[in-house]
Amino acid sequence: MTQQNPLLDFSDLPQFAAIKPEHVGPAIASLLEQSRAVVAALEASAAQVSWENFVEPLENATEKLGRAWGIVAHLNAVVDTPELRAAYNENQPLLTEFWTSLGQNLALFDKYKALQASAAFAQFSPARKTIVNHAIRDFRLGGAELPDDKKIRYAEIQERQAALSTRFSENVLDATNDYGLFIDNIDELQGLPEDVLQAAKSAAEKDGKTGYKFTLHFPSYFPVLQYADNRQLRETIYHANATKASELGSKPEWDNTAIIAELLELRQEEASLLGYHNFAEVSLVTKMAETLAEVSRFLLDLARRARPFAEKDLAELRVFAREQLGIADLQAWDTTYASEKLREQRYAFSEQELKPYFAEPQVIAGLFNVIQTLFAVEIKPDTAPVWHQDVKFYRIEKDGKLVGQFYLDLYARNGKRGGAWMDDARGRRRTAHGIQTPVAYLTCNFNEPVTVDGVTRPALFTHDDVITLFHESGHGLHHLLTQVDELAVSGISGVEWDAVELPSQFMENFCWEWDVLQGMTAHADTGAPLPRELYDKMIAARNFQSGMQTLRQVEFSLFDLRLHDEVGTGSKRDVQGILDTVRQQVAVFTPPDFNRVQHSFGHIFAGGYAAGYFSYKWAEVLSADAYAAFEEASKAEGSTLSRSVGQKFQSEVLEVGGSRPALESFKAFRGREPTVDALLRHHGMAA
């Protein structure tokens, strides 16, 4: 069977070159049948429960199902086609039904409780104890203790939520892929950098057209907002992006309004079934933060500290736009453009000046050097079947032994979900054959190399792109460098959601270090490394408008929290009204009435961040404080690339994965509780 269906081949890496949409249904059906058979056997077993006769066989069966479906979900996100989408949507309810029924299985729940109460439990490793405790928690969250009629309703809710989240994401993707703005007259494109024009020209040529094509993929539309002198052009593309997948968008079938309302209603019903007041309370059960009040206090305190800086930022921007750019009524489609012009004037520095220095080959080499220096590993090119010709594959070795492998998919394209993310293709675990090494996907949406008049240049990244790449690599390192051999808590598995951003945001800091940038920059034309003078300007501009940026993140976090905190059915909630109220409380600049950012807010409606978007700021406190240890070491060692501190971060944070609470890992590394001081200092908002 495995020879005919590549999704059933678990001998090594996924057979991406051989996988076709028609393989999905038969593979999932076969794996579901196998998993159900294992569950039935475990239910019927009268033997005294042990790790070996209960947890391991259950994990063996469900891991294969999870890995196969993970491949399908990954392909659906990076090479979406009508056939693959149909196969995904046809099988997703089957998976949801299985996982829901597993989470409600009282026989299995009782066996986990028996295992926890057994004499052997005291001798379990910390990782195994954590797994059992997490399982019991998750059975309760999965509705295992509900009466049968409510279990049925709970299962219906899970299936419907999964379908709605998928549809939400598909609507955003379809609206993004559908949009194309063609400009023939180059005079309308004054201010746009040459590399942006080349990319737009190349995009038009791919469509068999002349002129320039702009899309709603981030590398295409954002430079228009940042650099285009043509105010009408900025407004046009801002409006298209701000209304996509909404009732104001291009096609009614892509409107996410009803999906948002129904998702909120279902989440509230789920919370009520489980005995919670609202879904936000459900979300916090698996997080570091313990109460909604604690999270709200944290966010509002951050807003209070950032507000004076944000008000100053905006006042300066309004004056500059009026006096220097002739923009008397600053609008949302002007702020990015005016901010870039103000930055150029104030710091004699433009993001565009940096871009020629960040050619893809040098950036990747620089990233790898940081990882290799800090964690004493080697990263080498490797070979594997891939889903697109642009995907690269690498292996990480330590002392000559394989540690893990990862795929790198860097460029934006049609059929690929926007944004950037890390996902696991396979987790580390000990098997009868030895250690199964972890494998990760690192996915971004940067500009691809541009070919104009037959000449191809390497992809050029913005510094923000470089930060994004380091961020996702931090997630990857968390997954790949783990030394935990138990699958459910190795790597990122089992880590509290509001701590999972610690390694990713930690890695971002190295993108600002002189010695790091020296090793990862080379001008695309001259080969010269980044000049010190330009670096100094970049550092001076680092916290430009950091107050406004902080309030923006707080705004999203509070909106998400309150959206899931209010008791009542989703259809009765005024989603826009909640967002407007949050903006009145914390924002200093309000977008236009037509802005529908919530309609493409995939993190909370199609990702895992519902009532958890605050995790980015929460974890940033941890990451900034963790990085401060490297800053302290640099005073003696001359560089933040400290092998000794890197080893401690590796052993106390990265290697332990989810085998112990994240706060314990942080304290083991730092020797104390986290403080907000380093975060405020890094953002230029320290007292």
- Does a structural domain hold residue 203? yes
- Tell me, yes or no, whether 484 and 428 share the same domain: yes
Rounded to an integer, what distance in angstroms lies between the CA atom of residue 254 and that of residue 265? 20
- Cβ–Cβ < 8 Å for 426, 67: yes
- Does a structural domain hold residue 686? no
Rounded to an integer, what distance in angstroms lies between the CA atom of residue 486 and that of residue 613? 28
- Does a structural domain hold residue 67? yes
- Cβ–Cβ < 8 Å for 659, 494: yes
- Of 469, 504, 529, which one is at a domain's C-terminal end? 529
Would the CA dihedral through 632, 633, 637, 643 be positive or negative? negative
- Tell me, yes or no, whether 385 and 476 share the same domain: yes
Q: Which long-range contacts (CB under 8 A, 24 or more apart) does 147-150 make?
A: 150/273
- Cβ–Cβ < 8 Å for 128, 98: no
**Parallel, antiparallel, or unpaired: how do β-strands 212-214 and 181-183 relate?**
antiparallel
- Of 215, 233, 253, which one is at a domain's C-terminal end? 253
Q: Is 406 helix (H, G, I), strand (E, B) or coil?
A: strand
Rounded to an integer, what distance in angstroms lies between the CA atom of residue 195 and that of residue 356? 9
- Tell me, yes or no, whether 381 and 517 share the same domain: yes
- Tell me, yes or no, whether 399 and 524 share the same domain: yes
Mean pLDDT of 231-249: 98
**Two tokens, residue 399:** 């002392």
- Tell me, yes or no, whether 133 and 201 share the same domain: no
* DSSP states of 636-673: HHSSS--HHHHHHHIIIIITTTTSS-HHHHHHHHHSS-
Q: What is the DSSP letter of 413?
A: -
* pLDDT score of 686: 87
Q: Is 223 helix (H, G, I), strand (E, B) or coil?
A: helix
Q: Active site includes 265?
A: no
* pLDDT score of 88: 98
Domain span at residue 415 reads 356-529
- Tell me, yes or no, whether 98 and 46 share the same domain: yes
Rounded to an integer, what distance in angstroms lies between the CA atom of residue 542 and that of residue 521? 18
Tokens 């195994």 correspond to what residue? Answer: 128
Residue 93's contacts (CB-CB under 8 Å, 6 or more residues apart) are: 159, 162, 163
Above pLDDT 70, what percent of the chain? Answer: 98
Rounded to an integer, what distance in angstroms lies between the CA atom of residue 131 and that of residue 5? 32
673 by Cβ neighbours in 10 Å (0-12 / 13-18 / 19+) ranks as exposed
Q: Taking the mean position of all CA atoms in its chain, how far away is CA 406?
A: 16
What is the identity of the amino acid at 496? E
- Tell me, yes or no, whether 388 and 496 share the same domain: yes
- Tell me, yes or no, whether 102 and 217 share the same domain: no
pLDDT at residue 200 greater than cutoff 60 = yes
Q: Is 78 helix (H, G, I), strand (E, B) or coil?
A: helix
What is the identity of the amino acid at 618? W
- Tell me, yes or no, whether 462 and 374 share the same domain: yes
- Tell me, yes or no, whether 236 and 373 share the same domain: no
* pLDDT score of 1: 46
Phi, psi of 325 (to 5 degrees): -115, -5
- Does a structural domain hold residue 205? yes
**Which residue is catalytic, options 265, 360, 472, 652?**
472
Rounded to an integer, what distance in angstroms lies between the CA atom of residue 109 and that of residue 569? 31
Q: Residue ranges of the alpha helices (H) in 456-522? A: 463-480, 502-508, 514-518
* pLDDT score of 451: 79
- Of 237, 253, 269, which one is at a domain's C-terminal end? 253
Rounded to an integer, what distance in angstroms lies between the CA atom of residue 578 and that of residue 572? 12
At 533, the pLDDT band (50, 70, 90 cuts) reads very high
The number of distinct structural domains making up the chain is 3
Rounded to an integer, what distance in angstroms lies between the CA atom of residue 527 and that of residue 646? 30
* pLDDT score of 567: 56
Q: Is 183 helix (H, G, I), strand (E, B) or coil?
A: strand
- Cβ–Cβ < 8 Å for 409, 390: yes
Q: Is 239 helix (H, G, I), strand (E, B) or coil?
A: helix
**Parallel, antiparallel, or unpaired: how do β-strands 450-452 and 455-457 relate?**
antiparallel
- Does a structural domain hold residue 233? yes
- Tell me, yes or no, whether 85 and 14 share the same domain: yes
pLDDT at residue 2 greater than cutoff 60 = no
More confident residue, 221 or 566: 221
* pLDDT score of 450: 86
Mean pLDDT of 346-372: 95
Q: Residue ranges of the alpha helices (H) in 285-359? A: 292-324, 332-347, 351-354
* pLDDT score of 455: 82
Rounded to an integer, what distance in angstroms lies between the CA atom of residue 623 and that of residue 504? 8
* pLDDT score of 453: 74
Question: Using one digit for the tens of pLDDT, what is the confidence trace for 634-647?
Answer: 999 999 999 999 99
- Cβ–Cβ < 8 Å for 499, 669: no
CATH number at residue 449: 1.10.1370.40
- Does a structural domain hold residue 655? no
- Cβ–Cβ < 8 Å for 299, 552: no
* pLDDT score of 456: 86
**HSE-up of residue 16 (Cα within 13 Å, Cβ side):** 22
pLDDT at residue 581 greater than cutoff 80 = yes
- Does a structural domain hold residue 32? yes
Question: Using one digit for the tens of pLDDT, what is the confidence trace for 311-356?
Answer: 999 999 999 999 999 999 999 999 999 999 999 999 999 989 999 9
- Tell me, yes or no, whether 373 and 504 share the same domain: yes
Q: How far apart are the first and last CA of the chain?
A: 65
Mean pLDDT of 109-123: 97
Which of these, 594, 621, 637, lies nearest to 680 by C-alpha position?
A: 621
What is the identity of the amino acid at 675? T
On average, the pLDDT of the chain sits at 96
- Cβ–Cβ < 8 Å for 49, 114: yes
Tokens 């066996």 correspond to what residue? Answer: 111
Rounded to an integer, what distance in angstroms lies between the CA atom of residue 656 and that of residue 490? 7
- Does a structural domain hold residue 49? yes
Residue 372's contacts (CB-CB under 8 Å, 6 or more residues apart) are: 378, 379
Q: Is 379 helix (H, G, I), strand (E, B) or coil?
A: strand
* pLDDT score of 683: 95
